[in-house]
Amino acid sequence: MKRFQKILVGVDLCSETGAICRELSPSTQSAIDKGLWLGEHTGAHVTFMASLMPCLGLDADARHLAEMLRYQSMLDAMYERAHERMADLVEHARQKGVDASNVQVTGTPWVELVREAVRGEHDLVLVGSHRQHSLGRVLLGNTGRRLVRKCPCPVWVTSPVEAGAVRKILAPTDFSPTANEAVRLAHQLALKCEAELHVLHAVEYHFEPQMRDLIIPVDEIEEYRSRIRGDSEQQLNDCLEELGIDTSTDAAHRHVAAGPPHLMIRDAVKNLEIDLVAMGTQARSGITGVLLGNTAERVLSHLTCSVLAVKPEGFVCPVQFPEDEEE
């Protein structure tokens, strides 16, 4: 796969007490494992990146005060410990045959990940999900949500529930260019990693309530539903043909479901035991940046599997880095 050549993995080194953690959190370990797995399968270079700002517990302005002489020994020890942890990750990757490096920064994590993605021209950013909800839902934290909205390249948010190889991928599409790009990327990933690809389109019968209010005969309502569903099935087949993946996508893996898209995606993930959902995000009209939209927002708030969010063509990162412009 040529698409993923440079992968950036966000690493959270900070424990709940603010020190460098002895053991990485399940979500961070999940992102690392997935980065290594992708590196092994794609030959991509993997860069591990960690920010010490959460460990320091200071904002950018206050950090200068912490660098006064009486704090220097504490900071030196923290930096050294972080350096050791990151060096261990690189060595572990190289033992697996994955070309790897690491970057340490002290800025806001999501901003630094976006900066590095832009500066290093990375084509994928991997991060762990924020936390596991008591009801089983994975909630996307601030870092993941901001990356999905603002990072210029695809963002893969891993779930601590999903471990090991990606066996089944779901690519929902509403036939928009961005959604179809996500289908194409999911297909490439499935081929390279020997995963099973499922493509889903959700159809809604918008006029059915009005038809029932007008007491339209039941057989006419059923005819309306059948026509809409048939058109959607044909549109899905045409979409896959246009993408050039119709011959490698089994008919049993093409799904047209009736209902709200976010619910149909959730049900498909559960029923098909999906490991990864690859989906497009929605671009705001007339401005840079990404508005997740109702479907993506709801999907990201309810899934227990990993999510790969794909940006619209021509997306421009809305984050400005004045210090880089001055260099």
pLDDT value of residue 87: 95
Over residues 21-40, mean pLDDT: 89
Torsion (CA) 39, 1, 295, 262 in degrees, nearest 10 = -80
The pTM of this model reads 0.83
pLDDT, greater one: 130 or 316 = 316
pLDDT digits (tens, 9 = 90+) for 206-231: 656 666 666 777 777 677 778 888 88
Least reliable range by pLDDT among 125-134, 149-158, 177-186: 125-134
| Tokens describing residue 202 | 């959700």
Answer yes or no: are the C-beta atoms of 283 and 315 closer than 8 Å.
yes
Q: Which residue(s) pair with 293 in the sheet?
A: none
Answer yes or no: are the C-beta atoms of 41 and 34 closer than 8 Å.
no
pLDDT, greater one: 22 or 190 = 190
Over residues 227-240, mean pLDDT: 90
Q: How far is CA 272 from the centre of its chain?
A: 20
Over residues 32-43, mean pLDDT: 91
Sheet with strand 124-128: strands edge to edge: 100-105, 45-51, 6-11, 124-128, 155-158, 306-310, 276-280, 168-172, 196-203, 254-258
DSSP annotation string for 45-76 = EEEEEEE-HHHHT--HHHHHHHTSHHHHHHHH
pLDDT value of residue 133: 44
The DSSP output letter for 206 is: T
Find, among 284, 293, 280, the residue nearest to 318 by Cα. Answer: 284
73-82, 189-198, 214-223, 295-304, range with greatest mean pLDDT:
189-198
| Tokens describing residue 12 | 């959270």
Find, among 45, 30, 189, 42, the residue nearest to 120 by Cα. Answer: 45
Find, among 304, 307, 26, the residue nearest to 138 by Cα. Answer: 304
251 CB-side CA count, 13 A: 2
Compute the C-alpha angle 207/208/209, nearest 5°: 95
Q: Which amino acid is at 47?
A: T
Average model confidence (pLDDT) across the chain: 81
Over residues 282-303, mean pLDDT: 57
pLDDT, greater one: 42 or 217 = 42
**Model confidence at 164: pLDDT above 50:** yes
Handedness of CA 210, 213, 215, 218 (dihedral sign): positive
Structural domains in the chain, CATH included, are 1-163 (3.40.50.620), 165-317 (3.40.50.620)
pLDDT digits (tens, 9 = 90+) for 130-144: 654 443 444 456 778
The DSSP output letter for 137 is: P
Find, among 110, 159, 167, the residue nearest to 300 by Cα. Answer: 159
- Say which residue the tokens 């246009």 belong to: 242
Q: Which residue(s) pair with 100 in the sheet?
A: 46
- CA-based Rg of the chain, rounded to a whole angstrom? 22
Over residues 316-321, mean pLDDT: 80
Share of the chain above pLDDT 70, in %: 76
